[in-house]
Structure 1
Amino acid sequence: MLLPIADFAPDLPPNNSSGASANIVNLFPRTKESWGPVGTLSTFSSNALDSQCLGAQIAIDSGANNYLFAGTADKLYELAPGNTGFTNVSKGGGYSLPSGERWSFTQYGQRVIAVAESQNIQSFVLNSSSAFADLSASAPQARYVTTIKDFVMVGNTFDGTNGAQPQRVQWCAIDDPTTWPVSGSTTEAQLLAGSQIIPGDQGWIQGIVGNLGNADGAVFFERGIFRVVFQGSPTVFGFYPAEGVRGTPCPKSIVQLGALAYYIGEDGFYAFDGAVSQPIGVDRVDKTFWSNVNTAYLANVVGAVDPINRLVMWLYPSNSAPGGIPDSLIAFNWALNKWGFAQVNAEYIIRAITQGYSLDSLDSTGYTLDTLPFSLDSRVWTGGQVLMGAFTPSHQLAYFTGSPANATADTVELEPFGSAGKRGFLKTTRPMIDGGSPTVQIGMRNRLMDDPTFSAASSINDNGECPVRADARYLRARIQTTGAFTHLQGIEIPDGAIDMTGSR
Structure 2
Amino acid sequence: MTFIPLRNIGSGGIVTDQDPYDLELTQFPNGNNVSFHDGRIGKTLGHTVNQSLSFQPTHVQGWRFEGSDTVVIGSLQKLYRYDGGSVTNVTKTSDATNYSNSPRWQSEQLGTAMMFNNGAQVPQYMLPTGARFADLPAWPSGVITHCLKPYKSFLIMAGYESGSTKHPYTVRWSDEYEPTGVPQDYNIGSTTNLAGENVLSGNNGALVDQLTLNNSQIIYAERGVFAMDFIGAPLVFSFRELFSDDGILNRGAVASFPNGHLVVGNNDIYVHDGNQKQSIVDKRVRKTFFNAVADKRSVFCQTLNEKSEIWICYADSDAADSQTANRALVYNWSQNAFTFIDLPNVRALTLSEKLDASGGYDDATQTWAETSEYWSSVSASLDASALSLFGAGYGANKLYLMNDSHGAAGSNINAYLEATKLDLDTVLGTATNTIKQINGIYPQIEGQGTLNISVGVSSSPQDGVTWKATKTYNIESDNKIDVRASGRYFALRIESTSDQNYWRLTGLDIDIKEVASR
| Structure 1: runs of 5+ lacking an equivalent | 360-373
Amino acid at match of 2:456: G
Paired residue for 1:203?
A: 205
Q: Which residue of 1 aligns with 2:367?
A: none
**Superposition CA RMSD, Å:** 2.7
Q: Give yes or no for the alignment of 1:41 onto 2:58.
A: no
Count of aligned positions? 469
- TM-score, normalised on structure 2? 0.83
Measured in 1, the distance between the counterparts of 2:321 and 2:63 equals 31
Q: Which residue of 2 aligns with 1:318?
A: 316
Equivalent residue letter for 1:22: P
Counterpart residue type for residue 327 of structure 1 = N
1 CA distance for matches of 2:420 and 2:185? 59
Residue 501 in structure 1 maps to residue 515 in structure 2 = yes
Per-residue CA deviation, residues 334-391 of structure 1 (Å, 9 max, x unaligned), is: 11212111122231322232134379xxxxxxxxxxxxxx99x9959x8632122222
Contact 1:43 1:396 in 2 (8 A): yes
Counterpart of 1:173 in structure 2: which amino acid?
D
Q: Which residue of 2 aligns with 1:350?
A: 350
5 Å-filtered alignment, 1:139-218, equals: 139=140, 140-160=143-163, 163-175=165-177, 177-186=182-191, 190-210=192-212, 212-213=213-214, 215-218=215-218
TM-score, length basis structure 1: 0.86
Deviation at 1:486, TM superposition (A): 4.8
> How far off its partner does 1:26 sit?
1.2
Determine the C-alpha separation between the residues in 2 that align with 1:164 and 1:156.
8
Amino acid at match of 1:48: L
1:227-246 equivalences under 5 Å are: 227-246=227-246
Where do 1:60-459 residues align within 5 Å?
60-61=64-65, 63=66, 65-80=68-83, 83-92=84-93, 93-97=97-101, 102-127=104-129, 129-139=130-140, 140-160=143-163, 163-175=165-177, 177-186=182-191, 190-210=192-212, 212-213=213-214, 215-257=215-257, 259-294=259-294, 297-324=295-322, 325-347=324-346, 348-357=348-357, 379=378, 384-392=385-393, 393-399=395-401, 400-403=403-406, 405-411=413-419, 413-416=421-424, 419=431, 421-435=433-447, 436-459=449-472
Task: Describe the shift of the 1:279–1:438 C-alpha distance in structure 2 as closer, same or farther (beyond 3 A).
Answer: same
Which one is further off, 475-484 or 116-125? 475-484
Once superposed, which parts of structure 1, at least 4 consecutive aligned residues long, lie more than 6 Å away?
Answer: none
CA contact (8 A) 1:445 1:474 kept: yes
Distance change (3 Å), C-alpha of 1:259 and 1:180? farther
What amino acid does structure 1 have at the position aligned with 2:355?
Q
Task: List per-residue Cα deviations over 1:267-307 (Å, max 9, x = no partner).
Answer: 2222232233232222211121001111xx21122211111
Structure 1 counterpart SS, 2:239: strand
Alignment check: 8 A CA contact 2:306 2:377 kept: no
The alignment partner of 1:179 has SS state of coil
Residue deviations 1:121-158, cap 9 Å, x none?
1111111x211111135333211121111111122212
The residue identity in structure 2 corresponding to 1:459 is T
Aligned partner letter, 1:476: A
- Deviation digits for residues 170-203 of structure 1, max 9, x if unmatched? 21111153323432222xxx22111222231212
CA offsets 1:41-84 (integer angstroms, 9 cap, x no match): 11112x3161142x3322222x364221221221112123xx33
CA contact 1:108–1:152 (8 Å) conserved in 2:
no
Inter-partner Cα distance in structure 2 for 1:263 and 1:420: 40
Give 1:258 shift: 5.1
Amino acid at match of 1:24: G
The answer to whether the 8 A contact 2:436-2:514 is kept is: yes
